[in-house]
C-alpha cells in the first residue's frame, strides 16, 4: 500500500548538485514540491562529523542521497552518522541512495591476508539503521548478496542507449560496443543488445598489478565506430590504452561510456590527450572543475532515473520497470529524442 506521508530527502556533502536535481525531478513527477530536509552536516575543528536535522522526521520515509566517492572515508562516515541521527529521531524507514558505492572493488579476497571491504561497508550500513539501498551499476553484482536488506541496483545502460541512439543516429550501422576486459562482457553485451549493435572484447593480460603487458582485440573493429563501455574509470590508463589499440586495429573512431567517472590523478589529462573523441560519464560522482572544462568529456544526468526510482520505492511500485525503454523514454523526454 502506498505510503501516506510524503517522501523526505536529505543530502550529505558528497554530491549536493545531484541531490538537488533529484529533488527537482521528483517535484516535477509529483506535481508538488519535494525539497531537501533542512539540515547541517558539518565538521568540528579536528575533523569529526556532526549532523543536525531542523525538521521533524518522526514516522517519515527518509531517503539519504550520498555517494561514497572521494573522499570515500569522509563521505561514508557522513552517511552512517546521518542514518544514526534519523534512526534516533524515529524515522519510519531509512533508504540510502548511494549513486556510487565506494569500496565495491574490494568484493573478494584476491590474495592471502586481505579484507573484503565491500562486505564490511555493507555491515556498517545495516548496523547504522539503513533498511534499503538504492545504487547504480555496482562494480560486482554479487555485492547485493552482502546485504540482508533489499538492494535496488539501477543500470546506466538504458540511459547510455538513449544517448547513443540520439548522438550516433546517422552511423548506427557502424557502431560496435567494446568491453575493455573479459569481466565486463555482460555489461557490454546488455548495451549492445539494447541498440542492436555487434560486440567486441579487449583481452588484457597483466604481468603484475597496475601494469598492462599486452592487449588483444577479440572481433574485427575495422572501419567501426567503437564505443567502450565500463562501470568505473579511475586513472584512465587502461581506457586510453584500449582506445589506442582499437585505432591501431582499424577502428574509425573511439568513444567511451563510463558510469562512474572517478577520474583521479592524471586521468583528465590522459583523456584530453588520448585518441578518444569523447568520454561520456554520469553525474553519480560530482564533477571537478578539470572534468567540467575538459573538451572531450561529457556528463549525462541520472537524476530523472533516481527520482523515479525513489518515488517507486516510496509508493511501493516496481523499480525494475525503469530498465525498459518504454518506461525510461518518457522520463528522459526533452533530453533525448529517439
Residues with catalytic function: 204
Q: Is 70 helix (H, G, I), strand (E, B) or coil?
A: coil
Give 144's contacts (C-beta < 8 A, 6+ positions apart). 138, 151, 153
Give the whole-angstrom CA distance, residue 261 versus residue 249. Answer: 26
Give 21's contacts (C-beta < 8 A, 6+ positions apart). 283, 301, 303, 307
**Alpha helices, H only, 274-324:** 289-293, 303-315
Q: How far apart are the first and last CA of the chain?
A: 35
Strands 93-98 and 61-65: what pairing?
parallel
Do residues 108 and 256 lie in contact, with contact meaning Cβ atoms separated by under 8 Å?
Answer: no
Do residues 278 and 301 lie in contact, with contact meaning Cβ atoms separated by under 8 Å?
Answer: no
Q: Is 38 helix (H, G, I), strand (E, B) or coil?
A: coil
Q: What is the dihedral of CA 215, 219, 220, 226, to 10 degrees?
A: -70
Amino acid at each position: 500500500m502506498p505510503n501516506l506521508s510524503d517522501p523526505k530527502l536529505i543530502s550529505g556533502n558528497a554530491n549536493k548538485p545531484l541531490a538537488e536535481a533529484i529533488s527537482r525531478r521528483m517535484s516535477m513527477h509529483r506535481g508538488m514540491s519535494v525539497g531537501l530536509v533542512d539540515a547541517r552536516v558539518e565538521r568540528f575543528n579536528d575533523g569529526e562529523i556532526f549532523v543536525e536535522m531542523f525538521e521533524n522526521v518522526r514516522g517519515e520515509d527518509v531517503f539519504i542521497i550520498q555517494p561514497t566517492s572521494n573522499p570515500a572515508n569522509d563521505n561514508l562516515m557522513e552517511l552512517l552518522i546521518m542514518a544514526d541521527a534519523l534512526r534516533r529521531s524515529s524515522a519510519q524507514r531509512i533508504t540510502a541512495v548511494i549513486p556510487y558505492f565506494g569500496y565495491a572493488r574490494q568484493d573478494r579476497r584476491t590474495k592471502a591476508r586481505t579484507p573484503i571491504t565491500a562486505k564490511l561497508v555493507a555491515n556498517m550500513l545495516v548496523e547504522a539503521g539503513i533498511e534499503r539501498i538504492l545504487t547504480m551499476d555496482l562494480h560486482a553484482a554479487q555485492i547485493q548478496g552482502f546485504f540482508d536488506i533489499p538492494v535496488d541496483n539501477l543500470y546506466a545502460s538504458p540511459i547510455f542507449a538513449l544517448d547513443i541512439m540520439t548522438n550516433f543516429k546517422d552511423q548506427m550501422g557502424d557502431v560496435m560496443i567494446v568491453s575493455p576486459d573479459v569481466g565486463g562482457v555482460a555489461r557490454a553485451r546488455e548495451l549492445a543488445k539494447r541498440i542492436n549493435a555487434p560486440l567486441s572484447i579487449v583481452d588484457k593480460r597483466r604481468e603484475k598489478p597496475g601494469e598492462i603487458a599486452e592487449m588483444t582485440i577479440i572481433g574485427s573493429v575495422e572501419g567501426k565506430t567503437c564505443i567502450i563501455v565500463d562501470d568505473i574509470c579511475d586513472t584512465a590508463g587502461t581506457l586510453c590504452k584500449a582506445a589506442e589499440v582499437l585505432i591501431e586495429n582499424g577502428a574509425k573512431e573511439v568513444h567511451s561510456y563510463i558510469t562512474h567517472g572517478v577520474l583521479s590523478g592524471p586521468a583528465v589529462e590522459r583523456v584530453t590527450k588520448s585518441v578518444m573523441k569523447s568520454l561520456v560519464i554520469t553525474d553519480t560522482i560530482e564533477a571537478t572543475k578539470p572534468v567540467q572544462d575538459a573538451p572531450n568529456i561529457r556528463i549525462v544526468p541520472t537524476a530523472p532515473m533516481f527520482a523515479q526510482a525513489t518515488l517507486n520505492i516510496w509508493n511501493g511500485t516496481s523499480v525494475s520497470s525503469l530498465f525498459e525503454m518504454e518506461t525510461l523514454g518518457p522520463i528522459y523526454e526533452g533530453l533525448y529524442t529517439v
